[in-house]
A and B are shown apart, each in its own frame.
Chain A
């Protein structure tokens, strides 16, 4: 079980409280598809992904980004119990979606860059450290049921 200090919990919730889940989610997913174009392999039915502009404006990307980050919010509410919280999602990503867990790490790192761009100096080194830990733990939980 992962241990979270009071300070870490504070850094997580204070950042999360200010996050626009729809905007940040859309931006993070768009950047994943732009910066690591091979991730587009999972989104054949999303329509036009032919350029950064197309990706950023694509309504399916926006909607899915929101979905993904909303789910991230569930993790934050259940920090003490992540593996259980993500058990079904983990099975889904393995058995139905066939997503290599490496992609969770990529998305986590991108989310951090999106937060940094939004919060500027307020995204302090301690903030970043805590959030890097969080995205790592989330990625691990999502990979946990892989077989």
Chain B
């Protein structure tokens, strides 16, 4: 799925946000909860008010996992294996095809907000493909 060029672009984008990872994660989730209220149903135990520590903490986790995926683009299935189990058997988030489109959309908006023109069509395409690949791996064990 991901060409060599795609991988390079994803790594470049990730480098640009390294150092802001916590903000990126928090903002992505905040946007997702605002734009897609149905996603809040997975977090009844969280304080979802803007700026909440729990949202920041969880955002940081999500971005750390994606960072791990970026470091292992040739080997995502293995690198994300634990997370794949978690999503399939414990979290049982509605099929990743659907819910990760929502997360992916919000992540892309955050990247676009921060990078402006630098979020080129080629970069946009590579990140979109990357997030699809992540979703596919997370869905592997659903059934």
Q: Tell me the interface secondary structure of chain A in the complex.
A: helix
| Contact residues in A for B106 (Cβ distance below 8 Å) | 128
Complex partner residue of A121 from B31, B34, B105, B113, CB under 8 angstroms: B113
Contact with A along B92-114 (1 / 0, CB 8 A): 00000000000001101110111
Ordered by A's residue number, 13 sampled pairs between the chains whose C-beta atoms are within 8 Å are: A31-B121, A34-B121, A35-B124, A35-B128, A112-B105, A112-B109, A116-B112, A117-B116, A120-B116, A123-B109, A125-B34, A128-B35, A128-B106
Residue of B nearest to A34 (CB): B121
Residue of B nearest to A35 (CB): B125
The smallest beta-carbon distance between B41 and chain A, in angstroms, is 16
Indicate whether B21 reaches chain A with its CB closer than 8 angstroms. Answer: no
- Chain A positions near chain B (C-beta within 8 angstroms): 30-31, 34-35, 52, 55-56, 109, 112-114, 116-121, 123, 125-126, 128-129, 132-133
Residue of B nearest to A105 (CB): B101
- Tell which of A56, A116, A123, A126 has the most Cβ of chain B within 10 Å: A116
Q: Would A126 and B109 be within 8 Å (CB), given that A56-B121, A113-B119 are in contact? A: no
Q: Would A34 and B31 be within 8 Å (CB), given that A112-B109, A116-B113, A123-B113 are in contact? A: no
| Contact residues in A for B84 (Cβ distance below 8 Å) | none
B30 touches A132 (CB 8 A): no
The smallest beta-carbon distance between B106 and chain A, in angstroms, is 8
Q: Which B residues between 5 and 23 are near A, CB-CB below 8 angstroms? A: none
Complex partner residue of A128 from B109, B115, B125, CB under 8 angstroms: B109
Q: How large is the interface on B (under 10, 10 to 19, 20 to 34, 35 or more residues)?
A: 20 to 34
> A119 vs B116: C-alpha distance in the bound complex, in angstroms?
8
Q: Which 9 A-B pairs have the closest CB atoms?
A: A116-B112, A117-B112, A129-B35, A129-B34, A125-B34, A132-B35, A35-B125, A116-B109, A34-B121
A125 touches B105 (CB 8 A): no
Q: Would A117 and B35 be within 8 Å (CB), given that A30-B121, A35-B128, A52-B122 are in contact? A: no
Indicate whether B45 reaches chain A with its CB closer than 8 angstroms. Answer: no
Indicate whether B36 reaches chain A with its CB closer than 8 angstroms. Answer: yes
Indicate whether B143 reaches chain A with its CB closer than 8 angstroms. Answer: no
The smallest beta-carbon distance between A56 and chain B, in angstroms, is 7
A120 touches B122 (CB 8 A): no
| Contact residues in B for A116 (Cβ distance below 8 Å) | 108-110, 112-113
Complex partner residue of A35 from B31, B113, B121, CB under 8 angstroms: B121
